[in-house]
Amino acid sequence: MATRPFSQFPADEQQQVTQACMHVGIALEAFQITDEGDGAGRRVSVKRLGTDAVSVYEAGPGSVWVEEFESDLECGLFGRVTA
C-alpha cells in the first residue's frame, strides 16, 4: 500500500482542507497530511507539526473525513485555534 502526500489528494479535498484550516486560523503548512489506500478505502493521517498531535480518519468515497478533521480543528485537538 503506497502512501500519498496531500498534494496528490483530489482537488476538492485539498480545497476543503485549506478552507477548514483558514477558518480556524491555522496554516495548512502546519500539517503533514498523507493517506494510504486500496480499493476498499483510505486512511488519512493528519499530523500537526510542532505539537505532534495526530489523528487518523477512515476515508471512503467522498470527503466525509474532512468534516471530521474540521470538527477536530474546532475542538482544539490540533492545538489552540485563533478564529
> What is the DSSP annotation of 39-77?
TTEEEEEEEETTT--EEEEEE-SSSHHHHHHHHHHHTTT
**Sign of the four-CA dihedral 5, 79, 23, 42:** positive
What predicted TM-score, i.e. pTM, was given to this entire model?
Answer: 0.89
Check whether 53 has a pLDDT greater than 70: yes
Asked whether residue 46 carries a pLDDT value surpassing 80, the answer given is yes
Looking at per-residue pLDDT, the higher value among 81 and 29 belongs to 29
